[in-house]
Structure 1
Amino acid sequence: MKGEVKLGILGGGQLGRMLMQAGLDFNLYTLVLDPDENAPCKDICNEFYVGSFRDFETVYEFGKNCDIITIEIEHVNADALEKLEQEGVKVYPDAQTVRTIQDKGLQKEFYKKHNIPTSDFLILKDKAELEDNLHFLPAFQKLRREGYDGRGVKRLGGVADTLDAFEEPSVLEKLVTFEKEISVIVARNESGEVTAFPVVELSFHPEHNLVDSLFAPANVPYKLQRLAIEIATRVIESFNMVGILAVEMFLTKDGQILVNEVAPRPHNSGHHTIKANYTSQYEQHLRAILNLPLGSTEIQSAAVMLNLLGEPGYDGEARYEGLQEALAVPGVYIHLYGKKYTRPARKMGHITVLGKDVEEAQERAEQVKNVIKVKA
């Protein structure tokens, strides 16, 4: 690796912030592009640019100043990434992978083509096509593009729910009766080395449809953990992708593992690795895109991760209650994302709770989960 690498990050949110915190140890010169002038990365990167990562010219001009480009959000201009690739800039994940993952229809067809297990699905052009496929319900309708953190998803249990269905192009995914939702974060470097983090178990917020908490390691039989890791490895190798990939999966009641969605970047289901594993997902992503040997993913401690969301009814400059009480509990670590303003359900930080086993970590998490409040 040459002396100082110029790393461009499209997106200046909390994932970019934690990536840069890991990047300090690699002597990286970081440039960040984000539309928010108060983005969490603003004050800790070397160069910060306010602009749209969806706009071709903005991304292209930004990328010309970088040795390597990576992303912390999928909704970026893939055409600009492709042009930068053609001009010799290293882009990880590559433009083609980003294009496929941006479109949930292309993503599902990719799984089908590569024999990756996933739920049955239909691609719909519009709401009229939904009316012709009511026999497929119950199902989840997902917008093909722009869905994020639970947005762009509707549960259609029956005909009555279709009144509120999306009009835009979408994917209709057969409802899966699952035992657990799990995630495997897998990494691959340019040399083709692949490593996977241990399987984690996800718990979703019932109202906001985003990860509320996770448990690591997952309470899943060893054989199924191995299968989940094999599937995640097959996904990243099928994409021929360099970097880190979060693979969210369903464990069904009859012991199948089905891929739900993937994210080609650091992910909410890997935050705990900063404290709980020998190598964090952020350091691993940097090792992968710098083509360094990948780090050990072994667990040092069992962990529970809790998301800190903005409290209902508060919208404005953020203030935090309960930090002292929470930090008095052994094994509790707080990560605040540097967001100036809060709003209901906005991700403002996370708490990692360590223990000698998951049971101890869960007991400690119960002590703190309602202590910290993000208000305005």
Structure 2
Amino acid sequence: MKNYFSSDFKLGILGGGQLGRMLLAETQKLDIYTAILDSNKNAPCAQICNEFHQGDLLDFDAVYNFGKTVDLLTIEIENVNLDALDKLEDEGLTIFPKPKDLRIIQSKARQKNFYVDHQIPTAAFSHYAYLEELKHAVENDIVEFPFVWKAARFGYDGNGVKIVRNIEDLESLPLVECITEKLIPFKNELAVIVARNADGEVKTYPVVEMEFHPEANQVEYVICPARIDSQVAENARELALKIVSDLDFVGLLAVEMFQTVDDRILVNEVAPRPHNSGHYSIEASYTNQFEQHLRSILNLPLGNTNSKVAGIMVNLVGDEGFSGEVIYENIEEILKIDGVTPHIYGKKETRPFRKMGHVTIVNENIDDARKIAQQVKETIRVISK
């Protein structure tokens, strides 16, 4: 086995945001040397990695030249230049997740076609190269209101997703390639994180339940374990395992799903990296998702994914009406509560709905944890000076 620890091995990470920052906490525990590429010189990772390179993740030369300086390359965001990754892989660099998988996942249209081709249940959809084509479909009653509109590329944290209820909603959409989906009546939004290493060892985390903010379309709470029937949880887990197997995926894959009113599981979308739905694992699991990501890409034995206690994560996002230098109001009040751990992402400037941190609540009792999560949400505010 290659010596990754306290050695001259260099792990490259594309992206220096909060996911990278939490990954660095694990590389530091294992003394793995890390180099980060990000376009923002003040990225959350900039001050704490071993080596920081400033460059655009979508620029061929920036990604290619960075890749030439490292021994293994991974990502903390999937919107990266894939042509550069293909060339690096052809020249012998190990890259996980594999560029071929990122090519499918980067495009919501390709992702949906992959599900259809592999008999993976998902919401019915249509693909449009541009907005005028969608408008034409609506005018000719090919698409019925209401429906879900998604930008085919570059959506994140609720951006690039809208529920379209009428013609007026259609007018406000950007002029980009997109997909539309049938609006599914569902009971729950669920997620399963799966880890797989190059030897084919696979582990799944418990199914979690996600509660969303109605306006921002962002996750407000992640609840582990999900408060669902054991058979529904098993069906969700099996579906996530099938996706990982069919992709021949190496790394960490978060699979977001809908539980329909009649208890069917439909896959919504996947993320090929540590994910918001797994942040609870830092405090609640035997092996957190960031350590597991490292284990999977370095082909190390995978860790125990069981939870020690019930865990709930609350996202900390910028309050509406506040932009500028950030203040975490009442943070000392939530620190008084047992089982509460805040994580601040190192972003100096807040704006409405920007992800600024999260808080984990651990408790023996999931219902008690949920009540405390509500208290935390109502107490702490992310405002500006």
Name the TM tier (shorter chain). over 0.9
1:28 aligns with 2:32: yes
1:323 maps to what in 2?
Answer: 331
2:22 maps to what in 1?
Answer: 18
Cα distance in 1, alignment partners of residues 248 and 353 from structure 2? 35
1:129 maps to what in 2?
Answer: 133
Q: Secondary structure at the match of 2:3?
A: coil
Percent of aligned pairs with the same amino acid: 49
Cα distance in 2, alignment partners of residues 347 and 167 from structure 1? 26
CA contact (8 A) 1:12 1:42 kept: yes
2:55 maps to what in 1?
Answer: 51
1:271 aligns with 2:272: no
Match of 1:38 among 39, 42, 49: 42
Do the aligned partners of residues 179 and 191 (structure 1) sit closer, same or farther apart at CA in structure 2, a change above 3 Å counting? same
2:237 maps to what in 1?
Answer: 229
1:120 maps to what in 2?
Answer: 124
CA contact (8 A) 1:10 1:69 kept: yes
Cα distance in 1, alignment partners of residues 297 and 130 from structure 2? 39
**Normalization by structure 2: what TM-score?**
0.95
2:199 maps to what in 1?
Answer: 191
User: 1:365 Cα shift?
Assistant: 1.5
User: 1:143 Cα shift?
Assistant: 1.1
Where in structure 2 are the equivalents of 1:140-155 lying within 5 Å? 140-155=148-163
Cα distance in 2, alignment partners of residues 197 and 148 from structure 1? 23
Cα distance in 1, alignment partners of residues 355 and 159 from structure 2? 14
Q: Deviations over 1:183-228 (max 9, x none)?
A: 0011110001111100000011111111111111001100010110
Cα distance in 2, alignment partners of residues 30 and 305 from structure 1? 27
User: 1:269 Cα shift?
Assistant: 0.4
Structure 1 unaligned segments of length 5 or more: list them. Answer: none
1:164 aligns with 2:172: yes
Aligned-CA RMSD value = 1.2
Cα distance in 1, alignment partners of residues 177 and 315 from structure 2? 31
Match of 2:375 among 363, 367, 370: 367
1:314 aligns with 2:322: yes
Q: Secondary structure at the match of 1:145?
A: coil
1:238 aligns with 2:246: yes
Q: Provide the aligned length of Structure 1 versus Structure 2.
A: 376
1:251 aligns with 2:278: no
Q: Deviations over 1:238-275 (max 9, x none)?
A: 11111001100000001110000100010000000000
User: 1:159 Cα shift?
Assistant: 4.1
AA in 2 matched with 1:191: D
1:358 maps to what in 2?
Answer: 366
1:110 maps to what in 2?
Answer: 114
CA contact (8 A) 1:82 1:94 kept: no
Q: Deviations over 1:40-87 (max 9, x none)?
A: 001110000111011000000001111111111111001111111111
